Amino acid sequence: MFKKFTPKEDVSGKSKVKSSVQRGIRAAILEQYPSLNPYIEELMPKKEPLILVKCHDRINIVMVGERLLFFNHHDGPYYPLLDILHTYPDIMPTVQVDRGAIKFVLSGANIMCPGLTSAGARMDVDLPVDSPVAILAEGKEHALAVGKMVMSTSDIKRVNKGVGVDLMHFLNDGLWKTKSEV
């Protein structure tokens, strides 16, 4: 989604949101990532104005101060930016891809089922379709991407063909590169 993303062309506007909207966003994020509760005040202080960066294709990015925090698409669930995810690695469920898949994921490919079912890969929790998921890699400790399940984990194991996870945001994509300079 952010494979080609340059703030200059793709950002259509950014605006401070009303405090009620801000509260709504904050609540939505907390509902989705309850483990962030103790840290939310660091990430999104109540006093600090929250800025919503609107991009093409109905992508919204939540920005506080100069830092991008979360993004969502079509008012869907919020996804954390990867550096947030690196700091708080356990906020969302994870799957792990095998080593062979890393270079494809880093160039923006969706995750294919075999990359999730082979020896180096792991899917420890059962996830339904459409849930946000962090993608780890064999032998690495930090996440390399966030995505959305296209199939449920059980389906991935059963079918083992085609796209398993839709890639939303990965290391060194446009969003990663523009992290702090919108």
Partner 1 sequence: MSDTEDVAVPVEDWPKTRVRTDIVYCGVCSMPVEYCEFSGTTATCKKWLRKEHPTEFARIWPEDDLEKKMDDVTLQDDEVPDKELTKEQKKAEAKAERERKKKAAQKVIIRRVERTKRKCVIEVSGLENFGVDLKKAAKLFATKFACGSSVTKNPQGLDEIVVQGDMQDAIYELILKTWKEVPEDQMELTEAKKK
Residues near partner 1 (CB under 8 A): 28, 31-39, 75-77, 83, 86-91, 93, 102-103, 106, 125, 127-132, 140-142, 144, 171-172, 176-177
Cβ 83 to partner 1, closest distance in Å? Answer: 8
Q: Which CB, 126 or 161, lies closer to partner 1?
A: 126
Query: Any idea what the Cα angle at residue 28 is, between residues 26 and 33, rounded to 5°?
Result: 95
Cβ 62 to partner 1, closest distance in Å? Answer: 14
Residue 5 burial (CB count, 10 A): 19
Strand pairing class (94-97; 132-137): parallel
Cβ 141 to partner 1, closest distance in Å? Answer: 7
Cβ 78 to partner 1, closest distance in Å? Answer: 8
Cβ 35 to partner 1, closest distance in Å? Answer: 4
What are residue 81's phi and psi, to 5 degrees? -70, 155
Integer Cα distance of 63 and 7 in angstroms: 13
Q: Which CB, 122 or 161, lies closer to partner 1?
A: 122
Q: Which CB, 139 or 162, lies closer to partner 1?
A: 139
Which letter does DSSP use for residue 35 in this model?
G
DSSP code string of 45-67: -SSSPEEEEEEGGGEEEEEETTE
Contact partners, residue 94, CB within 8 Å, separation at least 6: 124, 125, 133, 134, 135, 136, 143
Q: Which CB, 25 or 51, lies closer to partner 1?
A: 25
Q: Which CB, 140 or 158, lies closer to partner 1?
A: 140
